[in-house]
Amino acid sequence: MSLSVREQEYLEAMYFLLREKGIIRVRDLAQKLGVRPASVVDALERLEEKGLVTYRKREGISLTENGIRTASEIAERHELLKRFFVEVLGVPEDVAEQDACYLEHEVHPQTLDRIFLFLKFISMCPREGPDLLEQFKYFAKYEKCPSD
């Protein structure tokens, strides 16, 4: 299923609201995304057609199982990118947050897998020096630290 960047942003925002407040309301979602409530309702109708949310006027908004899975994947991509920017590249957290928001919707899954693998490598196999990339390639191939 293809989702627009904006639809992904709505799902991610709903996911975070659900985690933070335990409930998703139109006004909270509008405030979080900086849009009018009418825009939220339009988006909810599109997402409901795609089977990702359930929405009834004057009732709460709920994510379907597929909606939760999709929103969770989007949020995980965001956190992974942000972590990479901060921990590996040394980007300030506020800049990393903005960049993660921008890139999370377009990054290829293979690239994300590789970033995750690199973060795992540096946490499991602390290394330094000119052969760091060769050590990472070994780790990626065998899923163990070069000295193990």
pLDDT digits (tens, 9 = 90+) for 104-125: 888 888 998 999 898 888 888 8
Distances (CA, A) of 47 to 73, 121, 143: 16, 37, 39
Could you tell me the pTM of the whole model? 0.80
Q: What is the 3-state secondary structure (H, E, C) of 63-120?
A: ECHHHHHHHHHHHHHHHHHHHHHHHHCCCCHHHHHHHHHHHCCCCCHHHHHHHHHHHH
- Average predicted confidence (pLDDT) for the chain: 91
Fold (CATH) for 5-70: Arc Repressor Mutant, subunit A (1.10.10)
Parse the chain into domains and list their residue ranges: 5-70, 108-148
